[in-house]
Amino acid sequence: MLRMLFVLFKLMLVASISFTTLANDVKTIEWTDLIPESDQALMANLPEVQHDSNQSIFDQDYNGDDPAALQWQEILKSAKVRDELNNTKIKIPGFIVPLEFDDQQNVTHFFLVPYFGACIHVPPPPPNQLIYVSGASNLKADMIYSPFWITGTLTTETMSNDLGQSAYSLKADNIEEYSY
């Protein structure tokens, strides 16, 4: 009897360790974690914004030869990725921009974006700040106004759509509303 209890305890311990290992394989990341060091260095070296000028480096149509403006435009269009994140199980918060629906009007494919309204009311974020997500289910179209935690496997696969281009893709395993 004691031996059987010992074996049972050992099995429970192994199962507990395996479950902990699987749970820990998911890496919670922030949006800045998607930006490669080279882009982060460009962002860190941008000069302060000058408010006494009629043109701004933030203007989409600014065509100046100002190096800061050129750096900013490069950052806004960057599709550079962090290769070490390819095929990584992640969890990231964000907002949903629907792309495809099923026959019951549930969102099945979407862009995950770092802030509300991205891709719809304003120019889209850079491709390395957009994640194309597939595999959603039971996600009602009227839920897009809330932030969500998305868990799944991230890849460095690009996806283009009329609303934007993503430098990352993610196969969703779990979608849950973000709790404040």
pLDDT digits (tens, 9 = 90+) for 39-96: 888 888 776 666 666 555 555 455 556 777 777 788 888 899 999 999 999 999 999 9
Q: Between 19 and 113, name the one with better pLDDT.
A: 113
Cα 64–chain centre separation? 31
Q: Between 5 and 168, name the one with better pLDDT.
A: 168
pLDDT tens profile 155-167: 999 999 888 899 9
Q: What pLDDT, on a 0 to 100 scale, did the predictor assign at position 141?
A: 82
Query: Beta-carbon neighbour count of residue 156 at 10 Å?
Result: 19
* Segment holding 154, helix H or strand E: strand 148-155
* Segment holding 50, helix H or strand E: none
Q: Between 174 and 46, name the one with better pLDDT.
A: 174
Domains of the chain and any CATH numbers:
27-34+81-177 (2.40.50.870)
Question: Which pair of tokens denotes residue 140?
Answer: 């009602």
pTM to 2 decimal places: 0.76
pLDDT tens profile 93-133: 999 999 999 999 999 999 999 988 776 666 788 999 999 99
Q: What pLDDT, on a 0 to 100 scale, did the predictor assign at position 31?
A: 96
Average pLDDT estimate for 130-143? 90
